[in-house]
Chain A
Amino acid sequence: MLKKTITVLLLIALAGCQPAIPPEALELSPQTLEMRQMQTRYFDTKDEAMVLSASAALLQDMGFNIDESETKLGYILGTKDRDATDAGQIVGAVLVAALTGTVMPVDKSQKMRACIVTHPYGEQKDKIAVRVTFQRIVWNTQNQVSTKECLAQPEIYQEFFSKLSKSLFLEAQNI
């Protein structure tokens, strides 16, 4: 019994130690370039403000609220809160509950963040580069954070940029 207590206390003591920041957290990785290409598109215009305005309109199209922006640096941040219920997870939780009688928490809600950064690109600075990055934080039914992640599926970015092209067209037409 006492041995158990000591083990538990030791574990608590260890858990209290400063968690080490992963060494690769602030290092460029071999995947950096690939990610950058997936998250970036170039548009043939010199009008950065117009591209930003079309991007803000697109974020609104997708139900985001604009949290922060800085036109001088070509930057917009949008967030939205959405349901995070996953049918597969619920089936799993129900099965576990039926078999063992324990209630497993399932994902309930999430905050999704989209960050758009633009910058003039090319030797003559005659293009505007647009880079978008998405993140989400998921909370479960016990209000604990269950997922913190950057979204990296290529399909997300393809759809986003096809929508952005449309938004730029609408912006040019003043619609």
Chain B
Amino acid sequence: MTTRRNVFYWVVLLAVFLICGCATTQERLLDSDTSQVQLRSIQTRAFDTTDREKTLRTVMATLQDLGFVIDQADATLGTVTATKLNRYALRVTVSIRPRGETQTLVRVNCQYEDKPVTDPVPYQRFFTSLEKGMFLAAQQVD
């Protein structure tokens, strides 16, 4: 009998955990649990170039190399959005903007299935791939 009661408590405890784990619509809409500064730092790198068009074209070529299909590209705004379908769906947006007189900032954010990617490792891998296409080093920005 006591084991049955123990088991019952476990079930209740688990159910409570499950409910606590659910986010509200506001949290899901605004991704309130992530730190803006930290996120920018893991998603952004600087490259020593001021050639916007070449940067965007290299980003697109790298995304194609990685198996993405480009969903949208805008040379004026400096954004490229792409989707990779490989049993999973991975969607990324890459944006570029000038930094000072000599550099360009490249930022990428990823969505894996229906979740944001906040782990720094996938971003490092992306920038390693991009470095090869750019023939330039990706520099960490603080």
Interface residues in chain A, defined as those with a beta carbon under 8 Å from any beta carbon in chain B: 2-3, 5-6, 9-10, 12-13, 16, 18-19, 21-23, 25-28, 32, 35-36, 39, 68, 70, 72-75, 77, 113, 115, 117, 119, 131, 133-137, 148-150
Evaluate contact between A70 and B74: CB separation under 8 angstroms: yes
Taking CB atoms, residues of chain A closer than 8 Å to B128 are 27
Interface residues in chain B, defined as those with a beta carbon under 8 Å from any beta carbon in chain A: 4, 7-8, 10-11, 14-15, 17-18, 21, 53, 56-57, 60-61, 64-76, 80, 83-90, 110, 112-113, 115, 117, 119, 121-123, 125-126, 128-129, 132
Residue of B21, B65, B121, B125 near A32 (CB, 8 A) is B65
* A interface, over-half SS: mixed
Evaluate contact between B88 and A148: CB separation under 8 angstroms: yes
Taking CB atoms, residues of chain B closer than 8 Å to A23 are 121-122, 125
Residue of A9, A68, A74, A119 near B72 (CB, 8 A) is A68
Residue of A2, A27, A70, A148 near B11 (CB, 8 A) is A2
A28 to B126, CA, bound (A): 9
A76 → chain B, closest Cβ, in Å?
Answer: 9
A19-B112, A150-B85 given; A2·B8 CB < 8 A: yes
- Which residue of chain A is the closest to B81 with respect to CB atoms? A68
A35 to B117, CA, bound (A): 26
- Which residue of chain A is the closest to B75 with respect to CB atoms? A72
